[in-house]
Structure 1
Amino acid sequence: MLIAQLTDFHATVPGATAGGVDTRAAFRALIAHVRALAPRPDLLLVSGDLAETGVDAEYAFVLEGLESLGIPFVAVPGNHDLRAPLRRVLARHTGTEPDHLGLVRELDGLRVIGLDTLVEGASHGALLPAQLVWLERTLGADAGRPTLVFLHHPPFATGLPAMDEIGLREGRAELAALLEGRRDILGLVCGHVHRAITGGFAGHRVFIAPSASHQFALDFAGPGFRVVREPAQIALHRVADGRLVSYLIPGPAL
Protein backbone atom coordinates (compact mmCIF):
# COMPACT_ATOMS: atom_id res chain seq x y z
CA MET A 1 0.00 0.00 0.00
CA LEU A 2 1.23 3.48 -0.87
CA ILE A 3 0.18 6.44 1.29
CA ALA A 4 0.84 10.09 0.49
CA GLN A 5 1.01 12.34 3.52
CA LEU A 6 0.01 15.93 2.82
CA THR A 7 0.24 18.50 5.57
CA ASP A 8 0.19 22.17 6.49
CA PHE A 9 -1.55 23.67 3.47
CA HIS A 10 -2.51 26.85 5.37
CA ALA A 11 -5.01 27.55 2.61
CA THR A 12 -6.30 31.12 2.72
CA VAL A 13 -9.30 32.94 1.36
CA PRO A 14 -8.79 34.49 -2.09
CA GLY A 15 -6.37 37.39 -2.10
CA ALA A 16 -4.73 36.54 1.23
CA THR A 17 -1.35 34.98 1.97
CA ALA A 18 0.16 33.05 4.88
CA GLY A 19 3.63 34.11 5.95
CA GLY A 20 3.95 36.01 2.70
CA VAL A 21 3.27 32.82 0.72
CA ASP A 22 0.47 32.37 -1.80
CA THR A 23 -0.72 29.13 -0.25
CA ARG A 24 -3.65 28.80 -2.63
CA ALA A 25 -1.24 28.66 -5.57
CA ALA A 26 0.92 26.20 -3.64
CA PHE A 27 -2.10 23.99 -2.99
CA ARG A 28 -3.18 24.01 -6.63
CA ALA A 29 0.34 23.00 -7.65
CA LEU A 30 0.30 20.25 -5.04
CA ILE A 31 -2.96 18.81 -6.34
CA ALA A 32 -1.63 18.74 -9.89
CA HIS A 33 1.54 17.04 -8.67
CA VAL A 34 -0.28 14.36 -6.69
CA ARG A 35 -2.55 13.71 -9.67
CA ALA A 36 0.53 12.92 -11.77
CA LEU A 37 2.15 10.56 -9.26
CA ALA A 38 2.91 7.09 -10.55
CA PRO A 39 2.19 4.75 -8.97
CA ARG A 40 -0.97 6.34 -7.69
CA PRO A 41 -1.32 6.51 -3.88
CA ASP A 42 -3.98 4.32 -2.31
CA LEU A 43 -4.68 6.78 0.50
CA LEU A 44 -3.98 10.40 1.45
CA LEU A 45 -3.29 11.34 5.07
CA VAL A 46 -3.84 15.05 5.77
CA SER A 47 -2.11 15.80 9.06
CA GLY A 48 -3.47 19.20 9.97
CA ASP A 49 -3.37 22.93 9.25
CA LEU A 50 -5.55 22.56 6.21
CA ALA A 51 -6.66 26.19 6.62
CA GLU A 52 -4.99 29.38 7.77
CA THR A 53 -7.87 30.95 9.70
CA GLY A 54 -10.39 28.10 9.81
CA VAL A 55 -13.27 29.61 7.85
CA ASP A 56 -15.62 27.54 5.70
CA ALA A 57 -14.33 29.02 2.44
CA GLU A 58 -10.80 27.79 3.12
CA TYR A 59 -12.01 24.26 3.81
CA ALA A 60 -14.25 24.28 0.76
CA PHE A 61 -11.24 25.19 -1.39
CA VAL A 62 -9.21 22.32 0.10
CA LEU A 63 -12.09 19.86 -0.18
CA GLU A 64 -12.61 20.62 -3.86
CA GLY A 65 -8.94 20.03 -4.63
CA LEU A 66 -8.58 16.83 -2.62
CA GLU A 67 -11.81 15.28 -3.86
CA SER A 68 -10.81 16.03 -7.46
CA LEU A 69 -8.01 13.48 -7.09
CA GLY A 70 -10.41 10.58 -6.61
CA ILE A 71 -8.17 9.12 -3.88
CA PRO A 72 -9.59 8.29 -0.43
CA PHE A 73 -8.35 10.73 2.20
CA VAL A 74 -8.71 11.38 5.90
CA ALA A 75 -7.84 14.53 7.84
CA VAL A 76 -7.14 15.60 11.41
CA PRO A 77 -6.93 19.22 12.57
CA GLY A 78 -3.84 21.28 13.25
CA ASN A 79 -3.42 24.34 15.41
CA HIS A 80 -4.65 26.71 12.67
CA ASP A 81 -7.84 24.71 12.17
CA LEU A 82 -11.22 24.97 13.88
CA ARG A 83 -13.28 21.87 14.61
CA ALA A 84 -16.77 23.13 13.78
CA PRO A 85 -16.09 24.31 10.21
CA LEU A 86 -13.72 21.43 9.53
CA ARG A 87 -16.38 18.98 10.71
CA ARG A 88 -19.03 20.81 8.72
CA VAL A 89 -17.21 20.99 5.39
CA LEU A 90 -15.12 17.78 5.47
CA ALA A 91 -17.62 15.63 7.33
CA ARG A 92 -16.94 12.52 5.23
CA HIS A 93 -13.20 12.73 5.72
CA THR A 94 -12.65 13.47 9.40
CA GLY A 95 -13.71 12.13 12.78
CA THR A 96 -17.23 12.08 14.16
CA GLU A 97 -16.68 11.84 17.91
CA PRO A 98 -18.61 14.54 19.82
CA ASP A 99 -15.56 15.86 21.71
CA HIS A 100 -12.80 15.54 19.13
CA LEU A 101 -12.04 14.67 15.52
CA GLY A 102 -10.07 11.50 16.15
CA LEU A 103 -10.78 8.84 13.55
CA VAL A 104 -10.10 5.25 12.61
CA ARG A 105 -10.18 3.79 9.11
CA GLU A 106 -9.26 0.38 7.73
CA LEU A 107 -7.92 -0.23 4.24
CA ASP A 108 -6.49 -3.46 2.86
CA GLY A 109 -5.60 -4.84 6.27
CA LEU A 110 -4.11 -1.59 7.58
CA ARG A 111 -5.71 0.31 10.45
CA VAL A 112 -5.16 4.08 10.37
CA ILE A 113 -5.82 6.05 13.55
CA GLY A 114 -5.92 9.83 13.43
CA LEU A 115 -5.53 11.87 16.64
CA ASP A 116 -6.91 15.35 17.21
CA THR A 117 -4.28 17.42 19.06
CA LEU A 118 -5.95 20.80 18.48
CA VAL A 119 -6.28 23.27 21.36
CA GLU A 120 -8.53 25.95 19.91
CA GLY A 121 -7.15 29.43 20.52
CA ALA A 122 -3.60 28.15 21.11
CA SER A 123 -0.69 26.90 19.02
CA HIS A 124 0.44 24.01 21.20
CA GLY A 125 -1.16 20.59 21.13
CA ALA A 126 -2.87 18.34 23.64
CA LEU A 127 -4.49 14.94 23.93
CA LEU A 128 -7.23 15.33 26.52
CA PRO A 129 -8.69 12.54 28.67
CA ALA A 130 -11.72 11.91 26.43
CA GLN A 131 -9.54 11.25 23.43
CA LEU A 132 -7.09 9.11 25.37
CA VAL A 133 -9.98 6.94 26.58
CA TRP A 134 -11.20 6.71 22.98
CA LEU A 135 -7.73 5.78 21.78
CA GLU A 136 -7.33 3.06 24.40
CA ARG A 137 -10.67 1.60 23.38
CA THR A 138 -9.84 1.87 19.68
CA LEU A 139 -6.45 0.20 20.07
CA GLY A 140 -7.99 -2.62 22.04
CA ALA A 141 -10.81 -3.25 19.58
CA ASP A 142 -8.62 -4.90 16.97
CA ALA A 143 -5.31 -5.58 18.69
CA GLY A 144 -2.70 -7.07 16.42
CA ARG A 145 -3.83 -5.38 13.20
CA PRO A 146 -0.98 -3.34 11.63
CA THR A 147 -1.64 0.25 12.66
CA LEU A 148 -0.39 3.64 11.49
CA VAL A 149 -1.04 6.63 13.77
CA PHE A 150 -1.13 10.17 12.43
CA LEU A 151 -1.48 13.49 14.23
CA HIS A 152 -0.49 17.12 13.79
CA HIS A 153 1.78 17.91 16.74
CA PRO A 154 4.88 15.67 17.05
CA PRO A 155 5.02 13.83 20.38
CA PHE A 156 8.79 14.28 20.82
CA ALA A 157 11.14 17.27 21.17
CA THR A 158 12.56 18.28 17.79
CA GLY A 159 15.40 20.45 19.13
CA LEU A 160 13.91 23.51 17.42
CA PRO A 161 13.00 25.84 20.32
CA ALA A 162 10.22 27.72 18.58
CA MET A 163 8.50 24.50 17.55
CA ASP A 164 9.04 22.65 20.79
CA GLU A 165 7.41 25.56 22.63
CA ILE A 166 4.22 24.82 20.70
CA GLY A 167 4.55 21.04 20.63
CA LEU A 168 2.37 18.40 22.26
CA ARG A 169 2.24 19.70 25.83
CA GLU A 170 -0.52 17.58 27.34
CA GLY A 171 -1.17 13.87 27.09
CA ARG A 172 2.31 12.93 25.89
CA ALA A 173 3.08 10.60 28.79
CA GLU A 174 -0.35 9.01 28.57
CA LEU A 175 0.06 8.47 24.83
CA ALA A 176 3.44 6.85 25.41
CA ALA A 177 1.91 4.52 27.99
CA LEU A 178 -0.76 3.43 25.49
CA LEU A 179 1.70 2.79 22.66
CA GLU A 180 4.76 1.43 24.43
CA GLY A 181 5.37 -2.26 23.89
CA ARG A 182 2.73 -2.63 21.19
CA ARG A 183 3.90 -4.68 18.22
CA ASP A 184 1.00 -3.65 15.99
CA ILE A 185 2.13 -0.01 15.67
CA LEU A 186 4.04 0.51 12.42
CA GLY A 187 4.88 4.11 13.29
CA LEU A 188 3.56 7.61 13.80
CA VAL A 189 3.51 10.42 11.23
CA CYS A 190 3.01 14.12 11.97
CA GLY A 191 3.12 17.62 10.53
CA HIS A 192 3.30 21.05 12.20
CA VAL A 193 7.07 21.66 11.96
CA HIS A 194 7.28 22.54 8.24
CA ARG A 195 10.40 20.41 7.93
CA ALA A 196 11.20 16.73 7.41
CA ILE A 197 12.42 15.24 10.70
CA THR A 198 12.59 11.68 12.03
CA GLY A 199 12.67 10.63 15.66
CA GLY A 200 11.34 8.10 18.11
CA PHE A 201 8.57 7.90 20.67
CA ALA A 202 7.50 5.09 23.02
CA GLY A 203 9.69 2.66 21.10
CA HIS A 204 8.23 3.56 17.70
CA ARG A 205 9.54 5.51 14.75
CA VAL A 206 8.07 8.97 14.13
CA PHE A 207 8.23 10.81 10.82
CA ILE A 208 7.45 14.52 10.52
CA ALA A 209 6.49 15.49 6.98
CA PRO A 210 7.41 18.88 5.51
CA SER A 211 4.73 21.38 4.61
CA ALA A 212 3.02 21.00 1.27
CA SER A 213 3.21 24.78 1.03
CA HIS A 214 6.28 26.37 2.66
CA GLN A 215 9.12 25.41 4.98
CA PHE A 216 10.57 26.98 8.13
CA ALA A 217 14.29 27.48 8.65
CA LEU A 218 16.21 24.78 10.50
CA ASP A 219 16.97 27.03 13.46
CA PHE A 220 18.30 25.45 16.66
CA ALA A 221 18.54 28.75 18.54
CA GLY A 222 16.05 31.27 17.16
CA PRO A 223 12.91 32.20 19.09
CA GLY A 224 10.59 32.43 16.08
CA PHE A 225 9.79 31.08 12.65
CA ARG A 226 11.37 32.13 9.38
CA VAL A 227 9.93 31.03 6.06
CA VAL A 228 12.63 29.74 3.71
CA ARG A 229 12.31 29.23 -0.02
CA GLU A 230 13.28 25.57 -0.10
CA PRO A 231 12.00 23.10 -2.68
CA ALA A 232 8.66 21.59 -1.78
CA GLN A 233 8.59 17.88 -0.96
CA ILE A 234 5.92 15.25 -0.56
CA ALA A 235 6.08 12.41 1.93
CA LEU A 236 5.20 8.91 0.77
CA HIS A 237 4.81 5.93 3.08
CA ARG A 238 4.87 2.36 1.82
CA VAL A 239 3.34 -0.38 3.92
CA ALA A 240 4.43 -3.88 2.95
CA ASP A 241 5.21 -7.08 4.81
CA GLY A 242 4.23 -5.49 8.11
CA ARG A 243 6.73 -2.65 7.77
CA LEU A 244 6.52 1.07 7.12
CA VAL A 245 9.07 2.71 4.82
CA SER A 246 8.97 6.49 4.31
CA TYR A 247 10.24 8.57 1.42
CA LEU A 248 10.55 12.21 0.40
CA ILE A 249 10.06 13.07 -3.24
CA PRO A 250 10.38 16.47 -4.92
CA GLY A 251 7.18 18.41 -4.75
CA PRO A 252 5.67 20.86 -7.20
CA ALA A 253 7.79 23.72 -8.47
CA LEU A 254 6.20 27.14 -7.96
Structure 2
Amino acid sequence: MKIIQITDLHLVPPGHRLFDNDPGERLKACLLDVAAHHADADLCVITGDLAHHGERGAYLRLREALSVLPMPVRLLIGNHDDRHQFRSVFPDAPVDEHGFVQSLLDTPAGRILFLDTNRSDSHAGEYCEAREAWLRARLEEAKDRPVYLFMHHPPLPVHFRPMDEIMLDDGAAFGTVLDGHRIRHLFFGHVHRPIAGSWRSIPFSTLRGLNHQSWLDFSVKRGIPCSMEPPAYAIAFLNADAVVVHTHDFLDGSAKYLYDPDLPVERQVVPMARRTQP
Protein backbone atom coordinates (compact mmCIF):
# COMPACT_ATOMS: atom_id res chain seq x y z
CA MET A 1 0.00 0.00 0.00
CA LYS A 2 1.28 3.45 -0.92
CA ILE A 3 0.36 6.48 1.20
CA ILE A 4 1.25 10.16 0.79
CA GLN A 5 1.68 12.13 4.02
CA ILE A 6 1.54 15.93 4.00
CA THR A 7 1.56 17.96 7.16
CA ASP A 8 1.30 21.43 8.68
CA LEU A 9 -0.16 23.45 5.83
CA HIS A 10 -0.89 26.52 8.00
CA LEU A 11 -3.24 27.88 5.36
CA VAL A 12 -4.53 31.43 5.55
CA PRO A 13 -7.41 32.92 3.52
CA PRO A 14 -6.65 34.18 0.00
CA GLY A 15 -4.82 37.48 0.01
CA HIS A 16 -3.10 36.83 3.34
CA ARG A 17 0.50 35.77 3.99
CA LEU A 18 2.38 33.97 6.75
CA PHE A 19 6.09 34.54 7.39
CA ASP A 20 6.07 36.62 4.21
CA ASN A 21 4.93 33.58 2.24
CA ASP A 22 1.67 32.35 0.75
CA PRO A 23 0.96 28.89 2.21
CA GLY A 24 -1.70 28.34 -0.44
CA GLU A 25 0.89 28.53 -3.22
CA ARG A 26 3.07 26.00 -1.41
CA LEU A 27 0.09 23.69 -1.07
CA LYS A 28 -0.83 24.06 -4.73
CA ALA A 29 2.71 23.16 -5.83
CA CYS A 30 2.76 20.18 -3.47
CA LEU A 31 -0.56 18.74 -4.63
CA LEU A 32 0.32 19.18 -8.29
CA ASP A 33 3.58 17.31 -7.70
CA VAL A 34 1.77 14.50 -5.90
CA ALA A 35 -0.84 14.26 -8.65
CA ALA A 36 1.84 14.19 -11.36
CA HIS A 37 4.16 11.63 -9.76
CA HIS A 38 2.08 9.58 -7.33
CA ALA A 39 -1.34 9.19 -8.89
CA ASP A 40 -1.04 5.49 -8.04
CA ALA A 41 -1.06 6.18 -4.29
CA ASP A 42 -3.91 4.54 -2.40
CA LEU A 43 -4.38 7.38 0.06
CA CYS A 44 -3.20 10.87 1.03
CA VAL A 45 -3.19 11.81 4.72
CA ILE A 46 -2.72 15.41 5.87
CA THR A 47 -1.71 15.33 9.52
CA GLY A 48 -3.05 18.56 10.94
CA ASP A 49 -2.53 22.29 11.21
CA LEU A 50 -4.54 22.63 8.05
CA ALA A 51 -5.15 26.30 8.85
CA HIS A 52 -2.97 28.72 10.80
CA HIS A 53 -5.75 30.58 12.62
CA GLY A 54 -8.63 28.15 12.02
CA GLU A 55 -10.50 30.52 9.70
CA ARG A 56 -13.32 29.23 7.55
CA GLY A 57 -11.73 30.93 4.53
CA ALA A 58 -8.59 28.83 4.96
CA TYR A 59 -10.59 25.59 4.99
CA LEU A 60 -12.51 26.68 1.91
CA ARG A 61 -9.18 27.25 0.19
CA LEU A 62 -8.06 23.76 1.20
CA ARG A 63 -11.22 22.14 -0.11
CA GLU A 64 -10.72 23.76 -3.49
CA ALA A 65 -7.02 22.86 -3.65
CA LEU A 66 -7.64 19.17 -2.91
CA SER A 67 -9.67 18.76 -6.11
CA VAL A 68 -6.50 18.02 -8.11
CA LEU A 69 -5.74 14.81 -6.20
CA PRO A 70 -6.89 11.54 -7.80
CA MET A 71 -6.70 9.51 -4.57
CA PRO A 72 -8.84 9.59 -1.39
CA VAL A 73 -7.76 12.07 1.29
CA ARG A 74 -8.03 11.91 5.08
CA LEU A 75 -7.72 15.18 6.98
CA LEU A 76 -6.58 15.41 10.60
CA ILE A 77 -6.71 18.51 12.77
CA GLY A 78 -3.93 20.02 14.86
CA ASN A 79 -3.40 22.71 17.45
CA HIS A 80 -3.88 25.59 14.98
CA ASP A 81 -7.18 24.17 13.73
CA ASP A 82 -10.74 24.94 14.78
CA ARG A 83 -12.81 21.77 14.90
CA HIS A 84 -16.14 23.59 14.37
CA GLN A 85 -14.93 25.61 11.39
CA PHE A 86 -13.28 22.54 9.89
CA ARG A 87 -16.46 20.48 10.14
CA SER A 88 -18.54 23.30 8.67
CA VAL A 89 -16.44 23.17 5.48
CA PHE A 90 -15.83 19.40 5.47
CA PRO A 91 -19.16 18.01 6.75
CA ASP A 92 -18.41 14.60 5.21
CA ALA A 93 -15.13 14.16 7.08
CA PRO A 94 -15.55 11.09 9.30
CA VAL A 95 -15.86 11.70 13.03
CA ASP A 96 -16.45 9.51 16.07
CA GLU A 97 -19.61 9.43 18.15
CA HIS A 98 -18.44 12.45 20.18
CA GLY A 99 -17.65 14.58 17.14
CA PHE A 100 -13.89 14.19 17.31
CA VAL A 101 -12.22 14.07 13.91
CA GLN A 102 -11.00 10.51 14.12
CA SER A 103 -11.78 7.42 12.10
CA LEU A 104 -10.47 4.13 10.80
CA LEU A 105 -9.71 2.53 7.47
CA ASP A 106 -9.32 -1.22 7.04
CA THR A 107 -6.96 -2.10 4.20
CA PRO A 108 -5.07 -5.16 2.94
CA ALA A 109 -2.02 -3.75 4.78
CA GLY A 110 -3.90 -3.60 8.09
CA ARG A 111 -6.02 -1.16 10.05
CA ILE A 112 -5.20 2.55 9.79
CA LEU A 113 -6.37 4.81 12.62
CA PHE A 114 -6.62 8.59 12.26
CA LEU A 115 -6.59 10.40 15.62
CA ASP A 116 -7.77 13.80 16.85
CA THR A 117 -5.31 15.35 19.34
CA ASN A 118 -6.67 18.91 19.17
CA ARG A 119 -6.95 20.81 22.45
CA SER A 120 -8.92 24.03 22.17
CA ASP A 121 -7.08 25.97 24.89
CA SER A 122 -3.47 25.09 24.19
CA HIS A 123 -0.94 24.38 21.44
CA ALA A 124 -0.14 21.16 23.27
CA GLY A 125 -2.26 18.16 22.39
CA GLU A 126 -4.55 16.01 24.48
CA TYR A 127 -6.20 12.64 24.20
CA CYS A 128 -9.14 12.69 26.59
CA GLU A 129 -11.00 9.73 28.09
CA ALA A 130 -13.65 9.73 25.36
CA ARG A 131 -11.07 9.62 22.59
CA GLU A 132 -9.05 7.04 24.49
CA ALA A 133 -12.10 4.80 24.82
CA TRP A 134 -12.66 5.02 21.06
CA LEU A 135 -9.03 4.07 20.42
CA ARG A 136 -9.14 1.13 22.83
CA ALA A 137 -12.23 -0.23 21.10
CA ARG A 138 -10.74 0.12 17.62
CA LEU A 139 -7.54 -1.60 18.71
CA GLU A 140 -9.44 -4.46 20.31
CA GLU A 141 -11.41 -4.91 17.09
CA ALA A 142 -8.18 -5.15 15.13
CA LYS A 143 -7.15 -8.20 17.20
CA ASP A 144 -3.82 -9.39 15.79
CA ARG A 145 -3.93 -7.34 12.57
CA PRO A 146 -1.23 -4.71 11.93
CA VAL A 147 -2.21 -1.18 12.94
CA TYR A 148 -0.86 2.14 11.66
CA LEU A 149 -1.49 5.41 13.50
CA PHE A 150 -1.70 8.93 12.08
CA MET A 151 -1.94 11.89 14.47
CA HIS A 152 -0.81 15.50 14.75
CA HIS A 153 1.01 15.77 18.07
CA PRO A 154 3.91 13.47 18.96
CA PRO A 155 3.22 11.44 22.11
CA LEU A 156 6.95 11.40 22.94
CA PRO A 157 9.68 13.99 23.51
CA VAL A 158 11.79 14.47 20.38
CA HIS A 159 14.61 16.16 22.36
CA PHE A 160 13.88 19.56 20.85
CA ARG A 161 12.70 21.93 23.59
CA PRO A 162 10.24 24.10 21.58
CA MET A 163 8.28 21.06 20.41
CA ASP A 164 8.59 18.99 23.58
CA GLU A 165 6.86 21.82 25.49
CA ILE A 166 3.77 21.41 23.28
CA MET A 167 3.72 17.67 22.60
CA LEU A 168 0.78 15.46 23.52
CA ASP A 169 -0.13 15.83 27.19
CA ASP A 170 0.54 12.61 29.12
CA GLY A 171 2.07 10.71 26.26
CA ALA A 172 2.95 7.88 28.63
CA ALA A 173 -0.74 7.22 29.35
CA PHE A 174 -1.44 7.27 25.62
CA GLY A 175 1.33 4.74 25.17
CA THR A 176 -0.21 2.30 27.62
CA VAL A 177 -3.32 2.16 25.42
CA LEU A 178 -1.14 0.86 22.60
CA ASP A 179 0.56 -1.84 24.66
CA GLY A 180 -0.13 -5.36 23.47
CA HIS A 181 -1.24 -4.35 19.97
CA ARG A 182 0.60 -4.68 16.65
CA ILE A 183 1.36 -1.01 16.04
CA ARG A 184 3.63 -1.16 12.98
CA HIS A 185 4.23 2.57 12.51
CA LEU A 186 3.30 5.93 13.99
CA PHE A 187 3.07 8.94 11.66
CA PHE A 188 2.74 12.45 13.10
CA GLY A 189 3.24 16.13 12.23
CA HIS A 190 3.53 19.23 14.43
CA VAL A 191 7.31 19.40 14.82
CA HIS A 192 8.13 20.74 11.31
CA ARG A 193 11.32 18.63 11.23
CA PRO A 194 12.33 15.36 9.51
CA ILE A 195 12.70 12.97 12.46
CA ALA A 196 12.52 9.19 12.74
CA GLY A 197 13.07 6.71 15.54
CA SER A 198 11.19 4.34 17.81
CA TRP A 199 9.10 4.78 20.94
CA ARG A 200 7.96 1.90 23.16
CA SER A 201 9.26 -0.34 20.34
CA ILE A 202 7.00 1.45 17.83
CA PRO A 203 8.76 2.97 14.79
CA PHE A 204 7.77 6.58 14.10
CA SER A 205 8.42 9.27 11.51
CA THR A 206 7.58 12.89 10.90
CA LEU A 207 8.59 15.48 8.33
CA ARG A 208 8.82 19.11 7.34
CA GLY A 209 5.70 21.21 7.03
CA LEU A 210 4.59 23.02 3.90
CA ASN A 211 4.93 26.69 4.82
CA HIS A 212 7.73 27.00 7.39
CA GLN A 213 9.97 24.83 9.55
CA SER A 214 11.35 24.64 13.05
CA TRP A 215 15.00 25.58 12.77
CA LEU A 216 17.18 22.99 14.50
CA ASP A 217 18.85 25.17 17.13
CA PHE A 218 19.16 23.39 20.46
CA SER A 219 20.44 26.54 22.20
CA VAL A 220 17.24 28.60 21.93
CA LYS A 221 15.73 28.85 25.40
CA ARG A 222 12.47 30.64 24.64
CA GLY A 223 10.05 30.72 21.71
CA ILE A 224 10.12 28.60 18.56
CA PRO A 225 12.93 29.25 16.06
CA CYS A 226 11.39 29.18 12.58
CA SER A 227 12.95 29.00 9.14
CA MET A 228 11.96 28.88 5.49
CA GLU A 229 13.75 25.62 4.77
CA PRO A 230 12.26 23.74 1.81
CA PRO A 231 8.94 21.95 2.36
CA ALA A 232 8.52 18.21 1.84
CA TYR A 233 5.96 15.46 1.65
CA ALA A 234 6.39 11.78 2.47
CA ILE A 235 5.73 8.65 0.46
CA ALA A 236 5.14 5.62 2.68
CA PHE A 237 5.03 2.02 1.47
CA LEU A 238 3.23 -0.36 3.82
CA ASN A 239 4.50 -3.80 2.88
CA ALA A 240 3.94 -7.16 4.52
CA ASP A 241 7.52 -7.31 5.78
CA ALA A 242 8.51 -3.63 6.03
CA VAL A 243 7.38 -0.03 6.26
CA VAL A 244 9.46 2.29 4.08
CA VAL A 245 9.09 6.08 4.26
CA HIS A 246 10.66 8.49 1.75
CA THR A 247 10.58 12.28 2.09
CA HIS A 248 10.64 14.43 -1.02
CA ASP A 249 11.78 18.08 -1.15
CA PHE A 250 9.49 18.77 -4.08
CA LEU A 251 10.55 22.41 -4.55
CA ASP A 252 14.27 21.66 -4.64
CA GLY A 253 15.76 23.52 -7.59
CA SER A 254 19.29 22.14 -7.56
CA ALA A 255 20.81 20.64 -10.71
CA LYS A 256 19.80 17.03 -11.47
CA TYR A 257 22.12 14.52 -13.15
CA LEU A 258 21.80 10.98 -14.44
CA TYR A 259 24.67 8.57 -13.92
CA ASP A 260 24.61 5.73 -16.46
CA PRO A 261 27.68 3.43 -16.37
CA ASP A 262 26.60 1.80 -19.64
CA LEU A 263 27.31 5.01 -21.57
CA PRO A 264 30.78 6.01 -22.80
CA VAL A 265 32.93 7.56 -20.07
CA GLU A 266 32.54 11.09 -21.39
CA ARG A 267 28.74 10.77 -21.22
CA GLN A 268 28.25 8.78 -17.99
CA VAL A 269 27.15 11.83 -16.00
CA VAL A 270 24.59 13.82 -17.93
CA PRO A 271 22.41 16.74 -16.76
CA MET A 272 18.93 15.25 -16.84
CA ALA A 273 17.41 18.21 -18.66
CA ARG A 274 19.88 17.73 -21.56
CA ARG A 275 19.98 13.93 -21.60
CA THR A 276 19.68 12.31 -25.05
CA GLN A 277 19.35 8.69 -26.03
CA PRO A 278 22.70 6.89 -26.67
Normalised to the residue count of structure 1, the TM-score between the two structures is: 0.93
Does structure 2 conserve the Cα–Cα contact (< 8 Å) formed by 1:148 and 1:187? yes
Shift of 1:113: 0.4
Task: Give the Cα–Cα distance (whole angstroms) in 2 for the partners of residues 73 and 22 of structure 1.
Answer: 22
* 1:1-254 alignment runs, 5 A limit: 1-38=1-38, 40-170=40-170, 172-182=171-181, 184-222=182-220, 223-253=222-252
Higher mean C-alpha deviation, range 96-105 or range 72-81: 96-105
Task: Give the Cα–Cα distance (whole angstroms) in 2 for the partners of residues 3 and 239 of structure 1.
Answer: 8
Does structure 1 conserve the Cα–Cα contact (< 8 Å) formed by 2:232 and 2:249? yes
Letter in 2 for 1:216: S
Letter in 2 for 1:120: S
Does structure 2 conserve the Cα–Cα contact (< 8 Å) formed by 1:197 and 1:207? yes
Identity, % of aligned pairs?
A: 30
Deviation track 1:229-251 (CA, whole Å, cap 9, x = no partner) reads 32222111101114311111222
Letter in 1 for 2:245: S
- Compared with structure 1, are the counterparts of its residues 38 and 137 closer, same or farther at alpha carbon in structure 2 (3 Å cutoff)? closer
Shift of 1:157: 0.7
Task: Give the Cα–Cα distance (whole angstroms) in 2 for the partners of residues 36 and 165 of structure 1.
Answer: 38
Aligned match of 2:260: none
Does structure 1 conserve the Cα–Cα contact (< 8 Å) formed by 2:211 and 2:228? no
Shift of 1:128: 0.6
SS of 2:130 mapped into structure 1: helix
Does structure 2 conserve the Cα–Cα contact (< 8 Å) formed by 1:146 and 1:185? yes
SS of 1:135 mapped into structure 2: helix
Task: Give the Cα–Cα distance (whole angstroms) in 2 for the partners of residues 243 and 92 of structure 1.
Answer: 33
Letter in 2 for 1:102: Q
Task: Give the Cα–Cα distance (whole angstroms) in 2 for the partners of residues 119 and 57 of structure 1.
Answer: 21
Write out the 4+ residue segments of structure 1 that deviate beyond 6 Å after TM superposition.
Answer: none
Task: Give the Cα–Cα distance (whole angstroms) in 2 for the partners of residues 220 and 13 of structure 1.
Answer: 33
Normalised to the residue count of structure 2, the TM-score between the two structures is: 0.85
Shift of 1:148: 0.8
Shift of 1:73: 1.1
Over aligned residues, Cα RMSD in angstroms?
1.7
Aligned match of 2:276: none
**Uncovered stretches (5+) of structure 1, i.e. residues with no partner:** none
Deviation track 1:95-147 (CA, whole Å, cap 9, x = no partner) reads 24324212111233431101111111310011111111110001111212221
**Uncovered stretches (5+) of structure 2, i.e. residues with no partner:** 254-278
Does structure 2 conserve the Cα–Cα contact (< 8 Å) formed by 1:125 and 1:167? yes
Letter in 2 for 1:89: V
Deviation track 1:179-206 (CA, whole Å, cap 9, x = no partner) reads 1232x21110000011111122222011
Task: Give the Cα–Cα distance (whole angstroms) in 1 for the partners of residues 243 and 109 of structure 2.
Answer: 14
Aligned length: 252
- Compared with structure 1, are the counterparts of its residues 2 and 94 closer, same or farther at alpha carbon in structure 2 (3 Å cutoff)? same
Shift of 1:88: 2.1
